[in-house]
Chains A and B, each alone.
Chain A
Amino acid sequence: MADETSTQDAPEEKVPVMQQIIDNPFLLLFLGIALPTVFYTLWGVMEVATIPVAP
């Protein structure tokens, strides 16, 4: 019975995970810095650093 009322009651409905992510500015800030840092900057620096020395 308790179940029925809580699922019917819209305001207390659980917020979906995706909305929780999008509503969390600091999580987004972390993602928005971590992703390009790893894929663009770190990977890119590794690419340049591993260029072999000319024979």
Chain B
Amino acid sequence: MSQFRQCPDTGLFFHKPAESLMKANAVAGAVCLLIGGILGLLVILTRWPAVHLLPADAFYMVLTAHGITCLIFWIIFFEMAILYFAGSTLLRSRLATPRWAWAGFVLMIVGVISTLTAIFQGGSSVMMTSYVPMPAAPHFYLGLILFAVGALIGCFVFLGTLVVAKNEKTYEGSIPLVTFGALTACIIAIFTIASGAEILIPTFLWSVGYISHIDAAMYRVIWWALGHSSQQINVSAHVAVWYLIAGVLFGARPMSEKVSRAAYLLYILFLQLASAHHLLTDPGISSDWKIFNTSYAMYLAVLASMIHGLTVPGAIEVAQRNKGLTNGMFEWLRKAPWGNPVFSGMFISLIGFGFLGGISGVVMGTEQISIIIHNTIYVPGHFHATVVVGTTLAWMALTYLLIPVLFRRKMILPGLAKWQPYLFGGGMSIVAIFHMAAGTLGVARRHWDMGFAGNPLGFEYPGTAYLLMGIAGVGGVIAVIGGAAYLLITVGSLLFGEKLDASAGILQSFGVPLADSVYSTEKPERLPMAPAEAVEGHGDSGFEAPGTFVLAMVLLVSFVVYYFINWKYLSEVWPLS
């Protein structure tokens, strides 16, 4: 019999098996973040020229492990928790086939162990991309395949939950926007994982000797349908988290359901094409293919991101103005709860993703501009802005929201928590900005020694490049301190935080549900549609969120200026044709 508990603070309903799965996945994610964060520290301390910590072989091993643990394991575990939350909790539905979900979870864990074992045995320092024909151990690929299959099961459990919720009529009308955003992430995840299977299964067979040859160019095309799309899952999911946090903290409603959902539809249709970003300087692929795919079919997915960039803060602004914060353009923002890590984390994530990650991503994904950026350290700079400042910080903000609600514990160290998003977001923004700057000077990514020790030819990057890499190193250390603070606060709260529920013991924090008495076998009341506003629609009265519009225009101007600066840089290199 389905069992539900209602969170007395938020009114959210948790289905018992879904609740355990969310906890287990979130905790597994946090463990991966811990591992990945330590590895990240070792990477940044090696790339900081004055420190240059690790020897070459250890550096490449650690870099491989850092990339896979952070970009894949940490983020996808957390995404599984988000899917179960958006499917079961937000729809007040029982989770479909919890046993399958657990099987998926176990597969993911086994996959993590297998791949990390392979890497730390030393024979699989092939980077996250594992381009053939550079070989890795068979259990490196096998672990990734198992992890992907586990995640795929999670996606189907989410889809199954949508079906259950619809059939059992647990909600009225259409699914909530946040759930729709999770659905978008789930769809992109399924494409991602299917692409991963297409390429990693043959590669695994190659590594054990059943297949003699895998074409290196073909591998790159299909691998990037996995490698880049996996980061597009994050985009869809963290935008959903932004909407969720705006809704929880401010009671913000989407400015327009139609606009926000249509923007998500553009993600579903076009976002995945951007896997082409990585192939713009590859041999033999036509410019037609490159231009069409790299631009997400005429930048329609960029359009979607620009729409979310307006509607998320816009929704907050409208809600704040309705509460009376109507002075000037920005009183709504000035008087936002900047001391609440849920808000500050979410807002830094939004700004960092838009200004740093979004703009740089589109610029470097321009067919010709890729020539001056491909494989330089600009690339890691860019994706630390999207995936770390953007996604990871959004996950952190969400955790602060969920510790009391899901785990029924009060957060410890509120003073530190207040500062954590600034430390982490600030430090990581420094990493992103200064890596991008060093990249424009040509510094290579995935490179142990920018001084080229041991080569008789001799070449030195300009002194500025060393300075920039050093500053990035400082930023990285700050970010790691911010990340450590996050883990300290969250894990500490699970272990030692004040219990908000009599039954919330230690085990309850790590995947075991709360005591039976908290749950009721009664079905939750049907989730009603949001109450209608007095005046529906926006009438014709002009701009309801003028401050947000100003911010959006600032983004656009920065975007335009930076875009053409890069064309200018490009026009100065040797003519090529």
A-to-B contact residues, CB < 8 Å:
18-19, 21-23, 25-26, 28-29, 31-33, 35-37, 39-41, 43-45, 47-49, 51
Contacts and interface: CB of A to CB of B under 8 A. Distances in A.
B217 A40 contact: no
Report whether over half of chain B's contact residues are helix, strand or loop; otherwise say mixed: helix
A10 to B, nearest CB: 11
A55 to B, nearest CB: 15
Contacts, number: 90
A26, A35, A48, A51: most-surrounded residue (chain B CB, <10 A)? A48
B221 A44 contact: yes
Contacts of B292: 39
B159 A47 contact: no
A21 to B, nearest CB: 8
B187, B225, B276: most-surrounded residue (chain A CB, <10 A)? B187
Contact of B284 (A25, A33, A51): A51
A39 B229 CA distance: 14
Interface string B181-215: 00110011011001100100000000000000001
B284 A47 contact: yes
B174 interface: yes
B132 to A, nearest CB: 14
A23 B183 CA distance: 11
Contact of B191 (A23, A36, A49): A36
Contacts of B261: 22
Contacts of A32: 184, 187-188, 190-191, 268-269, 272
Interface residues of B, number: 40
Contact of B285 (A26, A37, A47): A47
Contacts of A44: 221-222, 276, 279, 285, 289, 293
Nearest to B218: A48
Given A35-B272, A36-B272, A44-B289, 11 more contacts: A22-B261, A23-B174, A32-B184, A32-B272, A36-B275, A39-B292, A40-B272, A40-B293, A41-B221, A43-B293, A44-B276
Given A19-B174, A48-B218, A51-B284, A29 B225 contact: no
B190 A33 contact: yes
A4 to B, nearest CB: 23
B273 A40 contact: yes
Nearest to A15: B174
B187 A40 contact: no
Nearest to A21: B265
13 contacts: A25-B159, A28-B268, A31-B269, A32-B188, A35-B269, A35-B273, A36-B229, A39-B293, A41-B221, A41-B222, A44-B289, A48-B218, A48-B221
